[in-house]
């Protein structure tokens, strides 16, 4: 599924440039993606589009986000730390953070790898028509991508 998401990001620089879901599914199949992965990716993207299209002003607070045990188990400490880093750096808003968490929880995977979390964040920005700034782009695709043994990122 994540290969399809990266393909969409690289092929369609704006989400409105994507064909309708049926035509997109045919195009992805013609490129060589598996039908099951295509269905999973399109369902996941549909959920992302629904979440990204809603705004909740209550989420734009400056309060502390506490994670419940299910979220911590599914996300893992690396993912939670990276989300907090991006939010504290001002690169993710509180509502974007919640969308990222919801989309990560929608996966059938625990814990979510840091590489997959980065793709989720990239797809969120893509779905909102936003380009990641240089700092965020470096964080999303830096040399330590998917290296779970890398030194932890310091927030100070």
CA distances to 26, 101, 118, 129, 132 from 138, rounded to whole Å, are 33, 21, 11, 19, 9
Stretch (H or E) spanning 87: helix 69-88
State percent of the chain over pLDDT 90: 42
Query: What pLDDT is attached to residue 57?
Result: 57
Q: Mean of the pLDDT values across residues 41-60? A: 77
pLDDT at 153 > cutoff 60:
no
Residue 156 domain flag: no
Q: Mean of the pLDDT values across residues 12-18? A: 83
Q: Which domain holds residue 101?
A: 2-141
Counting the structural domains of the chain, the total is 1
Burial of residue 69 (CB within 10 Å: 0-12, 13-18, 19+) is exposed
Residue 149 domain flag: no
Query: What pLDDT is attached to residue 14?
Result: 80
Residue 15 domain flag: yes
pLDDT at 124 > cutoff 80:
yes
Three-state DSSP at 55 gives coil
């Amino acid at each position: 599924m994540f290969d399809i998401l990266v393909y969409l990001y690289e092929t369609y620089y704006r989400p409105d440039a994507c064909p309708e879901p049926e035509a997109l599914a045919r195009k992805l199949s013609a490129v060589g993606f598996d039908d099951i992965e295509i269905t999973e990716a399109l369902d996941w993207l549909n959920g992302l589009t629904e979440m990204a299209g809603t705004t909740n002003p209550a989420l734009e607070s400056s309060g502390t986000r506490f994670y419940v045990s299910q979220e911590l188990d599914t996300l893992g400490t690396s993912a939670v730390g990276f989300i907090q880093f991006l939010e504290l750096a001002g690169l993710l808003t509180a509502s974007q953070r919640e969308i990222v968490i919801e989309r990560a929880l929608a996966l059938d995977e625990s814990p979510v790898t840091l590489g997959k979390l980065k793709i989720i964040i990239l797809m969120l920005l893509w779905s909102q028509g936003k380009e990641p700034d240089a700092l965020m782009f470096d964080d999303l695709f830096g040399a330590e991508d998917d290296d779970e043994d890398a030194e932890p990122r310091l927030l100070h």
